[in-house]
Amino acid sequence: MTHLFKSRHFALKPHLRRWLVMGLAVAIAFLSTGCTALALKTEAAAVPQLVLATLQDPKTFNYALNQEFPSIFLFSFRGLTQEDGTTGELKPDLAESWEIAADQRQITFTLREGLKWSDGEPLTAADVVFTYQDVVFNDKIPADAREGLRVGSTGELPTVRQLDDRRVEFTFPEPFAPFLRASSGPPTNIVILPKHKLAESVRSLDGNGNPLFLSTWGTDTNPSDIVVNGPYAIESYRSGERLIFRRNPHYWERDEQGQPLPHVERIIWQITESTDTQLLSFRSGDLDIMGDARPLRPEYFSLLKREEERGNFKVLVGGAASGTLFIAFNLNQAQNDRGQPVVNPIKSRWFNSLEFRQAIAHSINRSRMINNIFRGISEPQDSPISLQSPYYLTPENGLKVYDYDLEQAKALLQSAGFQYNASGQLLDADGNRVRFTLITNAGNELREAIGSQLKTDLSQIGIQVDFTPINFGTLISKVTATRDWDCLLIGFTGSTEPHSGANLWTSGGGSHLFNLGPQPGQPPINGWQPAAWEQEIDRLFAAGARELDEAKRRAIYNQFQQVVQEQLPVIHLVHEMALMAVRDRIEGVQYSGLPTWGLWNIQALKVVDE
């Protein structure tokens, strides 16, 4: 079509050419998505189903290796307990009850009677022991959940033993307050795994002495081999296109009328290239729910709100979302297995300067971000703890904040030895131009817009930012494996329980991204060392976990929040608002800003005829 733009009979102005090209691209994406969805609807016209969307392919079907959200575990696996997504109340799940000993050092769970895996095999206390003892507590398996279960200053793990087919007992070296919520299943806590399917892969080792489990249940696994205990099993997966989940006939839960759950027979999880494509699909009727995993973009809210009645859907507002959104610098000063620095030594000196990080915090115009990108539907974020948590410390109660102040930012930089040249470019003490790369996941237009603003904001203090959105899988690999990155824009799921973030905040955590230490199954790194303030966070998390008095726990986590805001291993940005659009024919949705997944009760949803 380029020749048309050059024709003197069809001479478009440059800005109109750009809009035409963009319109054609969107139309092609729309037609492609619409045809696919129509084919799926025709194929299963009589089957109650939901069509949802996600921005990227799953990276693994192996729970212990998963570090992404959303994931298949939301649909397919459950834990011993569950958090109510609207109240935060802890409820029974696979365990029908639990009993805490008088000294608070033992918890005994009793499983529901007659539990089964999706292949019909019994689910027993042996599966619980296998999950915790052989997988989560196994140092050769990089399960993030392990760090959140280390008890006390020694980091000792609890012991677990089977009492009979339905009862399992956990024993702790000291009281451990977070355990019940740590057992509450997806999206961030421990799910129960099938011993009869996975035990052999844990016992068997490869040539490097690593369990074969590490290469088990990858995304190339036949979906029929993935045995689950949640409401949905994986029926099929086509990379770059979709996952299809089918109702698990052996799922334990029933509704108030005694009917087996889930009500919806099939879930189609479309893999889309962007949230704009998702919006097209939703407005055309091909997508049933939008915003269940990540809140709707603010500009979508006003658009969809006007279309509610005509489009037969509702836009639900759940308040501030419980997750956090931040940028982080790579503070790792270790060397890889080839003796090379993980981070360029010049950049590492910048990133590890506290004044540098504080200057960056002062140079981010969050008010502009809220008004321009979030359309005023947001507020500044300053804490690593979710707004809904009783442990959240407000700025009014003493939490350190960083107001937008370019002069203060420049003063901090100059006090640390940085200087400006005649062109206003920032140089370090050795004359090196301050320039680094900021990455985020491509396809998330909200984060791409934030990244563009950060690039502009930091240019005001003379820093050149090379903003590069990349594939989510590549991003995760850089952060968790190669450690090859400068600065990262990302979000983390939240919880009312601060200890649920132990894998991010404790120095041994598998998601301790700003200074990731040695990890099981990875090549060794040399010279890794946590900073003194990281060790202080370790101490505070251990103290908070053993403390059962709520007032004392609150004081401990107040200190944690202050350390984070003083040292700025991450720089928090803004609270996203929990916004989700749902078709009127979907019944049973219980939505708030508290859950990290808007469809936390997916097994109870119904699809009714319009």
Within 8 A by CB and 6+ apart from 31, the residues are none
Mind listing the pLDDT tens digit for each residue in 145-179? 898 899 987 889 999 999 999 999 999 999 999 99
Q: What is the mean pLDDT of the chain?
A: 90
CA dist., res. 425 & res. 166, Å (int): 66
Mind listing the pLDDT tens digit for each residue in 61-114? 999 999 888 999 999 999 999 988 888 889 999 999 999 999 999 999 999 999
**Neighbouring-strand partners of residue 260:** 254
* Residue 94 and residue 192 in contact, taking contact as beta carbons nearer than 8 Å: yes
Mind listing the pLDDT tens digit for each residue in 337-390? 899 999 999 999 999 999 999 999 999 999 999 999 998 888 899 999 988 888
Predicted pLDDT at 12: 34
Confidence of residue 46 (pLDDT cuts 50, 70, 90): low
Consecutive H or E run containing 470: strand 464-470
Q: Is the pLDDT of residue 513 over 70?
A: yes
* DSSP classification of residue 403: -
Q: What share of the chain is helix, strand, coil (3-state, %, to 5)?
A: 35, 20, 45
Q: Is the pLDDT of residue 6 over 80?
A: no
Structure token pair of residue 467: 């903003």
Predicted pLDDT at 468: 97
Predicted pLDDT at 31: 44
Predicted pLDDT at 5: 24
- Do β-strands 487-492 and 242-247 pair in parallel, antiparallel, or remain unpaired? unpaired
Residue type for 124, please?
A: T
CA dist., res. 276 & res. 272, Å (int): 9
CA dist., res. 563 & res. 566, Å (int): 5
Write down all domains in the chain, each with its CATH number in brackets.
48-62+230-320+577-607 (3.40.190.10), 78-203 (3.90.76.10), 324-575 (3.10.105.10)
Q: What angle do CA 226, 231, 234 make, to 5 degrees?
A: 30
Q: What angle do CA 50, 319, 385 make, to 5 degrees?
A: 105
CA dist., res. 224 & res. 119, Å (int): 9
Shortest CA distance to 515 belongs to which of 539, 534, 500?
534
* Residue 516 and residue 534 in contact, taking contact as beta carbons nearer than 8 Å: no
Integer CA distances (angstroms), 238 to 60, 373, 376, 512, in order? 14, 34, 39, 32
* This prediction's pTM: 0.73
Residue type for 595, please?
A: P
Confidence of residue 494 (pLDDT cuts 50, 70, 90): confident
CA dist., res. 116 & res. 233, Å (int): 13
Annotate 108-121 with DSSP letters as a single string: EEEEPTT-B-TTSP
Average pLDDT of the residues in 116-121: 98
- Do β-strands 266-271 and 49-54 pair in parallel, antiparallel, or remain unpaired? parallel
* Residue 139 and residue 520 in contact, taking contact as beta carbons nearer than 8 Å: yes
Residue type for 232, please?
A: Y
Average pLDDT of the residues in 443-448: 89
Residue type for 453, please?
A: Q
* Residue 440 and residue 474 in contact, taking contact as beta carbons nearer than 8 Å: no
Integer CA distances (angstroms), 498 to 171, 304, 537, in order? 22, 34, 12
Shortest CA distance to 34 belongs to which of 244, 286, 242, 282?
286
Coil, helix or strand at residue 385: coil
Shortest CA distance to 380 belongs to which of 537, 193, 573, 221?
573
HEC sequence for 213-276: HHHCCCCCCCHHHCCCCCCEEEEEEECCCEEEEEECCCCCCECCCCCECCCCCEEEEEECCCHH
Which percentage of the chain shows pLDDT scores above 70?
92
Buried-exposed string 185-198: b where 16+ CB fall within 10 A, e elsewhere: bbbbbbbbbbbbbb
Within 8 A by CB and 6+ apart from 381, the residues are 324, 325, 326, 572, 573, 574, 575
Mind listing the pLDDT tens digit for each residue in 289-343? 999 988 888 889 989 999 999 999 999 998 888 889 999 999 999 999 899 999 9
* Residue 147 and residue 509 in contact, taking contact as beta carbons nearer than 8 Å: yes
